[in-house]
Structure 1
Amino acid sequence: MNTILLFTQNLHTRDTIRSAVASNSRVQAVSEPHQFWESLQSIACDCLFIDLAALEKLSTEEEAREPHPSAVIERIKRLRPMMGIVVIAANADVRKAVAYMKHGASTYITEPVDVDEMRLVLDEIQREWRQQCELAYLRERLWQGDTIDHVQTVSPLMKKVTENVRSVAPTKATVLLLGETGTGKSFTAKMIHRYSNRKDGPFISVHCGAIPDTLIESELFGHEKGAFTGAHRRKSGKFEMASSGTIFLDEIGTVTPSAQVKLLTVLQEGIYQRVGGETNLKADVRVIAASNGDLKQMCVDGLFRKDLYYRLNVFPITIPQLFERREDIPLFVDFFVNKFNQFNAKNIQGVHPDVMHALMQYDWPGNLRELENLLERAHILETTGQLTPESFPSELFERMEPVTEIAIDTSETLAAVRSKALAETERRYLKQLLLRNNGRINASAGEAGISTRQLNKLMHKYQLEKNAFKTSASPTK
């Protein structure tokens, strides 16, 4: 245990716990609720010892009419989900301590605190923490592993992306990945790393938008002991962790101006300093950045440094949205269904034709991530051997054009029947294409692989007016 947070006003309990912990552990003691919440947010605590009086103070803060065990424990768990929680209670109050355990506390000890008992509790929490870390690691390997690269693309746009990845991967060039949220920028970054000369080194992913502005520099570059309040020891940053490997900076457009300056120094000179330090450290790392915003426009608006943008934009790769690569949807459906079969211990084989038809027509504003989440939900709800429409939200089918059978007149010749079927298929295809492109002739002709003149002739043949499709909403970009 590195850091233990102790919330009690009982001086004897406080002194006993301080004397019982290992010499290499730190005990942060607080006596008031505001001190407790501040410490919990600013210090990475491994274990919390808290007595019933303190818990009831915190529960009252939750504005409940009566102190309720679940509210305060849930709030603590939201801030520190991996932290062990030990309730300190007198023998007469053991029943109350058990109530807190039912709502998420790890265990309890009785007052007066026994040193041997407390050490046993710490050992047990340490074992449980290791098990949780191992489980989280295995889940991460299962859910975010590289098995998705076995999905073969049939999309010309994605084939071009793959070619670019293979071309740039063996080089030292900085790569900038552009595309909407959920298109697969993180996966593409992993592909570049895997095909690079640094594949045996670490791949460190940093979601810049999820880190508070006040901590971004410390997270990226590390800090020295005493650099700021709460910096009790030296900490390595992500660049140091990624040494000899690759660092992936997702949502690069959200970093602060001061962090942008340091990033520019890394890219230009290959050096950086920890926060509060003066020693130059070598950045032996390949940088891949990603953004779902328009960095060029952010430069114009003064929100992003132009010199940093030019340094990042050495080899840009734009990841297409899912509606631009619909031909890959059946492949992803098969991949995700098989993946969920392993995770949920089911044996679902494919999807109902009506579902596939709806998936192919939907615009996918959330891209690949939305498809995965939708299939996961359906997989959980499904009780048959195939994903059926009943397991999907009704909104998926709202814009779906019903599939109608073409009437066949057996008194006609085969050539006549074939001609009618071909005409109906062409008409439906053009209608869906124009609907998706909001009536734009150039875009529709490009997707169909024909000239605009040919498209206009076909529209005239099937009495399709482009203005009729302009009333539909444009696909989400």
Structure 2
Amino acid sequence: MKDVLIVCKDAQISRLIHSKLGRVVTVRTVSDISLAEIDNGHPIDLVFIDVVELADKTAAGFEKIVREVRRLHPLVQFIAMAPKPMVRQAVMAVRQGADDYLTYPIDGEEIDLVLKSVQENRLKDQELDYLRDQFWKSDWLDIIHTKNQSMRNVLERVRSVAPTIATVLLLGDTGTGKGLMARLIHRHSHRSDGPFVSLHCGAIPETLVESELFGHEKGAFTGADRRKIGKFEMAQEGTIFLDEIGTITHATQIKLLQVLQDGTFNRVGGKDILHTNARIIGATNADLEKMAKAGSFRKDLYYRLNVFPIELPALRDRKEDLPHLVTLFLANLEKKYGKAITGLESGIADAMQDYSWPGNLRELENILERAYILESGSLLRSGSFPDTLIIGSKIVQAANESKSLPLSQARQIAIDEFERTYLENLLKKHKGRINVSAKEAHITARQLSRLAAKHGVDKTKYKS
């Protein structure tokens, strides 16, 4: 860390920060930040920025500043500064890309602690960059980018096991990216030139799973009019990924155990012993250990599968990765649809941070694609997202801002936020038509008009 930019009008604060940085550091102080300031040829390693000095007096524009500065200085770190009454804006700035924050009045010890924290984070990032250069294939660098320590631990385990032939069991909630992680392991294994064969065991009828895995001979069962090659034969010299492996039948479990023990199997209805050297990666959102103890899953098969378990964190536990994931998904949607949508409307990033993401990465990808399809402008707006995301965030914000109020008043704030958003979405859907909107809401047109007036919702702006 050699070049520091301080964006602050208070000269005393600037001098205090400067005194803590040491003489070998080059420090520049400005009262306002602009593109001209960050694109003037000077290197920037660290930025201290007062969120009060931003144009709109909030941290809402912080994400854009971070994006623009990091476009020119990819490794730059940010420390947001704000008075204690504006600590929420400082926290929002961290959500939008800052590495840490300070609150006024600032003391020297606090600066030391924050500088130590960002320096440690920089070393971790440099270590990960080194590992990327040494191991990760270039086409996966965007995928493995993370700021979450649990996810970094996952990637370190992937890096350890990928070059081996060990069986891997991927654990985690539905939608956490287990299929993507299986492909990552295959891509970085010594059999990456071989096939990657995937089977979602829970999506196939129980009677057909065995045939899909091991194949069948002609006449093995009704409808088997010709021989069929199974997934294990297809995956020779490669990897077979068995998703939702906890759903397979007892009979299939026995045959799979045989494959894991000595690599042999036979087709359904066949007598010939076949061999496979396919590497097996299993995945499940079920508790296989609990199932094994209960007798619904074979213990010996569980132990064979559980050679190298890797548990993926839920999205709610790695929200610091949301900005990068959104950027990644939007880039993919741009390739798919080509609508030149560049980002999110102000406030949506905060809503995403407040949301619990029960569907994890899959839910994030799905709602972004739906919003992308609906949107006609250059930014994804709140009206293109599900009410559960937007309304829920507003209620959380209302609750956070009302901690010092009596319960009745805090509850009323949340109700008002819900009613306002509900009316706006309803009138938008029906293009400002009161009667149709009231009918869907199961209230009278007069009641709806009174609610709209109460919350300042103008029906005319929704009319075509």
TM-score band (shorter)?
0.5 to 0.7
Counterpart AA for 1:150:
D
Aligned partner of 1:263 among 251, 256, 271: 256
Q: How does 1:27-42 map to 2 (within 5 A)?
A: none
Change over 3 Å in CA distance of 1:396–1:147 after alignment to 2: farther
Aligned partner of 2:234 among 237, 241, 250: 241
Cα separation, 2, equivalents of 1:352 and 1:229:
57
Q: Which residue of 2 aligns with 1:339?
A: 332
Cα separation, 2, equivalents of 1:148 and 1:367:
20
Cα separation, 1, equivalents of 2:267 and 2:396:
62
Residues 443-471 of structure 1: per-residue CA shift (max 9 Å, x gap):
xxxxxxxxxxxxxxxx9xx99xxxx9xxx
2:227 matches 1:227: no
Question: 1:179 touches 1:185 (CA, 8 Å); kept in 2?
Answer: yes
Change over 3 Å in CA distance of 1:402–1:307 after alignment to 2: closer
How many Å apart are 1:219 and its aligned residue?
0.7
Residues 90-133 of structure 1: per-residue CA shift (max 9 Å, x gap):
xxxxxxxxxxxxxxxxxxxxxxxxxxxxxxxxxxxxxxxxxxxx
How many Å apart are 1:148 and its aligned residue?
6.6
Aligned partner of 1:400 among 393, 402, 426: 393
2:369 matches 1:376: yes
Aligned partner of 2:210 among 217, 228, 231: 217
Cα separation, 1, equivalents of 2:309 and 2:387:
38
Cα separation, 1, equivalents of 2:286 and 2:317:
18
Counterpart AA for 2:142:
H
| Greater gyration radius | 1
Q: Which residue of 2 aligns with 1:185?
A: 178
Question: 2:354 touches 2:396 (CA, 8 Å); kept in 1?
Answer: no
Aligned partner of 1:150 among 142, 148, 153: 142
Q: Which residue of 2 aligns with 1:4?
A: none
Q: How does 1:46-125 map to 2 (within 5 A)?
A: none
2:279 matches 1:297: no
Report the 3-state secondary structure (helix = DSSP H, G, I; strand = E; otherwise coil) of the residue aligned with 1:150. coil
2:273 matches 1:273: no
Cα separation, 2, equivalents of 1:199 and 1:402:
48
Counterpart AA for 1:351:
L
2:304 matches 1:307: no
Cα separation, 1, equivalents of 2:353 and 2:346:
11
Question: 1:148 touches 1:335 (CA, 8 Å); kept in 2?
Answer: no
Cα separation, 2, equivalents of 1:359 and 1:257:
42
How many residues are matched?
A: 271
Cα separation, 2, equivalents of 1:229 and 1:254:
24
Report the 3-state secondary structure (helix = DSSP H, G, I; strand = E; otherwise coil) of the residue aligned with 1:378. helix
C-alpha RMSD of matched pairs (Å): 2.8
TM-score (norm 1): 0.54
Cα separation, 2, equivalents of 1:148 and 1:328:
16
Cα separation, 1, equivalents of 2:395 and 2:172:
32
TM-score (norm 2): 0.55
Cα separation, 2, equivalents of 1:303 and 1:351:
46
Q: Which residue of 2 aligns with 1:204?
A: 197
Report the 3-state secondary structure (helix = DSSP H, G, I; strand = E; otherwise coil) of the residue aligned with 1:173. coil
Q: Which residue of 2 aligns with 1:364?
A: 357
Give the percent of matched residue pairs that are identical in Structure 1 and Structure 2.
56
How many Å apart are 1:388 and its aligned residue?
1.2
Counterpart AA for 1:314:
V
Aligned partner of 1:391 among 373, 381, 384: 384
For structure 1, list consecutive stretches of 5 or more residues without a partner in the other structure.
1-145, 405-427, 433-458, 469-477
Q: Which residue of 2 aligns with 1:67?
A: none
Report the 3-state secondary structure (helix = DSSP H, G, I; strand = E; otherwise coil) of the residue aligned with 1:163. helix
How many Å apart are 1:353 and its aligned residue?
2.3
Report the 3-state secondary structure (helix = DSSP H, G, I; strand = E; otherwise coil) of the residue aligned with 2:219. coil
Cα separation, 2, equivalents of 1:342 and 1:200:
26
How many Å apart are 1:176 and its aligned residue?
0.3
Cα separation, 2, equivalents of 1:394 and 1:231:
48
Counterpart AA for 1:260:
Q
Change over 3 Å in CA distance of 1:163–1:238 after alignment to 2: same
Cα separation, 2, equivalents of 1:392 and 1:176:
34
Residues 351-372 of structure 1: per-residue CA shift (max 9 Å, x gap):
1121110011100000000000
How many Å apart are 1:389 and its aligned residue?
1.0
Cα separation, 2, equivalents of 1:403 and 1:226:
61
How many Å apart are 1:401 and its aligned residue?
4.9
Q: How does 1:436-447 map to 2 (within 5 A)?
A: none
Residues 281-337 of structure 1: per-residue CA shift (max 9 Å, x gap):
111110000001111111122110000000000000001000000001110111111
Q: How does 1:15-34 map to 2 (within 5 A)?
A: none
Question: 1:322 touches 1:368 (CA, 8 Å); kept in 2?
Answer: yes
Cα separation, 2, equivalents of 1:400 and 1:389:
11
Question: 1:217 touches 1:259 (CA, 8 Å); kept in 2?
Answer: yes
For structure 2, list consecutive stretches of 5 or more residues without a partner in the other structure.
1-137, 411-464
Report the 3-state secondary structure (helix = DSSP H, G, I; strand = E; otherwise coil) of the residue aligned with 2:286. coil
Q: Which residue of 2 aligns with 1:317?
A: 310
Cα separation, 1, equivalents of 2:322 and 2:247:
31
Cα separation, 1, equivalents of 2:396 and 2:147:
24
